[in-house]
């Protein structure tokens, strides 16, 4: 018998800021007061755009910077980003693509608007998540997954909507991303008047992020307009979503990581001493450099 997860809160963005000169973001946690125990294993959620960039001969973005102890997940909706890192990975994230970068023991990378997109201008819209790693994996070798839109399975609901299964499993379709802990990440589109009940594992922290539209969760809590996020209780094994207009949303769920968190800037570890060591290692070049 299906048990719907209880909606524990509905939130708008907290802080608004620029990452470099290319990514104007609204932070959907933790700056709005959502606590880590409500969202673990997720650490941060930035929604970049939608923002119109004028044509330019320069590619805005953010230059060389390090990460250690967690993963970054970038989902592109509009616009394109060129990137490279100190592990030798490089490429372009196009609309529909996902970049899943495991920083783990440490990586240095940079991200800029792709040259043709910068030259032509247009609408830029992306999401970036930070996903925590358990202590056992924080100092393992970095890993990179370039996931194109063609590699992402699509589950049709039969009533007009669909879900792209980026990670985890939905109705027998397994996501394209490899994860260190159990995680579901579904990119969902619903038509006006459509109602779906989606399975979500019991015990998972669960979030529903509305990109644009109007939806109700479990027949009560409403998310309207854009850039809203709902937290749901771990207990229960499903969420019911009804759209009153065409809507796009993300569903995130994950098994909580019950370990201490110490974080500063681009480093997320378990102790303050490990943060200090990360700073020392970065300055000494042990995370690599971009030439």
The residues facing 110 across adjacent strands are 84
Given a cut of 80, whether residue 291 has pLDDT beyond it is no
Return the DSSP state at 138.
T
Given a cut of 80, whether residue 244 has pLDDT beyond it is yes
Burial class (CB in 10 A: 0-12, 13-18, 19+), 31: middle
Q: Candidates 2.60.40.10, 1.10.645.10, 2.60.120.10, 1.10.10.10; correct CATH number of 7-254? A: 2.60.120.10
Given a cut of 80, whether residue 200 has pLDDT beyond it is yes
Rounded to an integer, the average pLDDT of 40-53 is 97
> In this predicted structure, what is the pLDDT of residue 180?
97
Rounded to two decimals, the pTM is 0.96
CA separation, residue 191 to residues 243, 244, 245 (Å): 7, 8, 6
State pLDDT tens for residues 150-168: 999 999 999 999 999 999 9
């Amino acid at each position: 018998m299906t048990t719907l997860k209880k909606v524990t809160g509905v939130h708008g963005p907290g802080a608004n800021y620029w990452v470099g000169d290319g990514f104007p973001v609204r932070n959907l946690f933790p700056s709005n007061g959502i606590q880590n125990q409500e969202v673990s294993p997720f650490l941060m959620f930035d929604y970049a755009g939608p923002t119109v960039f004028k044509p330019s001969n320069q590619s805005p973005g953010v230059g060389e910077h390090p990460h250690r102890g967690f993963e970054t997940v970038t989902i592109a909706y509009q616009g394109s980003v060129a990137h490279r890192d100190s592990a030798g990975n490089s490429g372009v994230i196009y609309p529909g693509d996902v970049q899943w970068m495991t920083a783990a023991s440490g990586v240095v990378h940079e991200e800029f608007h792709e040259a043709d997109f910068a030259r032509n201008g247009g609408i830029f819209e992306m999401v970036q998540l930070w996903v925590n790693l358990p202590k056992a994996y924080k100092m393992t070798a970095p890993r990179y997954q370039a996931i194109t839109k063609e590699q992402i399975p699509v589950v049709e609901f039969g009533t007009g909507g669909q879900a792209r299964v980026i990670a985890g499993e939905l109705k027998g379709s397994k996501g394209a991303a490899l994860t260190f802990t159990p995680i579901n990440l579904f990119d969902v589109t619903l038509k006006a008047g459509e109602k779906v009940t989606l399975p979500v594992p019991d015990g998972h922290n669960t979030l529903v992020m509305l990109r644009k539209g109007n939806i109700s969760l479990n027949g009560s809590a409403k998310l309207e307009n854009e850039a809203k996020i709902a937290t749901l209780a771990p207990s229960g094994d499903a969420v019911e979503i009804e759209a009153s207009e065409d809507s796009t949303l993300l569903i995130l769920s994950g098994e909580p990581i019950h370990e201490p968190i110490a974080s500063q800037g681009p480093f997320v570890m378990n102790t303050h001493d490990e943060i200090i060591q990360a700073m020392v290692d970065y300055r000494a070049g042990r995370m690599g450099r971009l030439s």
